[in-house]
Amino acid sequence: MICAIGLLGLVLLMVILIWQAAGPSIKAFGFSFFFTREWDPVHGRFGALPYIYGTLVSTLLALLLAGPVSLGAAVYVAEFAPRKIKNILGFMIDLLAAVPGIIFGLWGNFVLSPWLAGSLEPRLEHYFGFLPLFRGPATGVGMLAAGIILAIMISPLITAVSREVLEIVPASQREAMIALGATPWEVVRRAVLPYARTGIVGAFTLGLGRAIGETMALTMVIGNRPQISASLFAPAYTMTSVIVNEFTEAVEPLHLAALIHIALVLFLVTLLVNTVARLMIYLMNRRVKKWTV
């Protein structure tokens, strides 16, 4: 009880301190900080919009890429894989989930980016170039690379948690479906997944949290240019990256305050995204109350 309150107090204290440190920036820009695209340390004009955009879009892209793959992997490992393969795969997925971000960043920089620039991006532009998403110079450094790196980083986490969630679906649920004459795939689709959906959303939320907070790997592949471009090939910038890149060289008090202001925004965005995820779980559960089966 005391520990819980203490923890809450600690978080509150952190917010207050960040708030205070961001004071000059909050005073200077107020709400327009959220909507300003300019980031000009020389003239002392700061806006967070490109960073918010970069973080949200790269995260969304990562979820879109990682979601189906992770869920598929979790279903395979939990439901279909023979026991031996299941153990090996499960172990490897858990291991992958623990690899530090910087390693993914290095790999992204030296392997993924050149491949994107030389191979995938020109092809995407050739076949899907009619969409603004896939137009522009193929540099291999930008939003697409960031999304892919993030997807690779969060999919082990989503897979591992989803798998646990699928494995605790009671046998009675599966048997009920089997007894109605369901094929193994129908058992998964109609009994296991619906039963586990709250937990799966939870797994995705965890992945989302990691994606939003990820810093190093992204900084190495996203291109670090504060712009909002429709093209996925174009460089972008995220909130975490700008903080880590500029923190040491921010000599102007306003510059430093603006960076801390971004940290505050990041905090709020994380809070918001998690609240929305919680709300989704709540709404799903309200429609279907739980009882023991």
Residues that bind another protein (CB under 8 A): 83, 170, 172-183, 186, 190-191, 194-195, 197, 287-291, 293
Residue 84 Cβ, how far from another protein at the closest point, in Å?
Answer: 12
Cβ proximity to another protein: between 182 and 250 the closer is 182
Cβ proximity to another protein: between 143 and 192 the closer is 192
Going from the C-alpha of 109 to that of each of 141, 142, 168, 270, the distances in angstroms are 8, 11, 39, 26
Cβ proximity to another protein: between 44 and 170 the closer is 170
Cβ proximity to another protein: between 30 and 82 the closer is 82
Cβ proximity to another protein: between 98 and 293 the closer is 293
Residue 187 Cβ, how far from another protein at the closest point, in Å?
Answer: 10
Cβ proximity to another protein: between 126 and 287 the closer is 287
The radius of gyration computed from the CA coordinates of the chain, to the nearest angstrom, equals 22
Residue 87 Cβ, how far from another protein at the closest point, in Å?
Answer: 14
Cα(238)–Cα(22) distance, integer angstroms = 18
Residue 153 Cβ, how far from another protein at the closest point, in Å?
Answer: 31
Residue 237 burial (CB count, 10 A): 26
Residue 170 Cβ, how far from another protein at the closest point, in Å?
Answer: 8
Residue 225 Cβ, how far from another protein at the closest point, in Å?
Answer: 45
Residue 81 Cβ, how far from another protein at the closest point, in Å?
Answer: 12
Cβ proximity to another protein: between 87 and 275 the closer is 87
Residue 39 burial (CB count, 10 A): 21
Nearest by Cα to 89 from 106, 72, 64, 66: 72
Residue 195: which H helix or E strand, with range?
helix 193-213
Q: What torsion do the CA atoms of 119, 120, 126, 127 make, to the nearest 10 degrees?
A: 140
Cα(126)–Cα(146) distance, integer angstroms = 21
Going from the C-alpha of 113 to that of each of 97, 116, 128, 226, the distances in angstroms are 22, 5, 20, 19
Cβ proximity to another protein: between 117 and 169 the closer is 169
The SS3 call for residue 131 is: coil
Question: Do 46 and 261 contact (CB within 8 A), yes or no?
Answer: yes
Cα(192)–Cα(168) distance, integer angstroms = 10
Question: Do 227 and 201 contact (CB within 8 A), yes or no?
Answer: no
Cα(36)–Cα(14) distance, integer angstroms = 26
Residue 185 Cβ, how far from another protein at the closest point, in Å?
Answer: 11
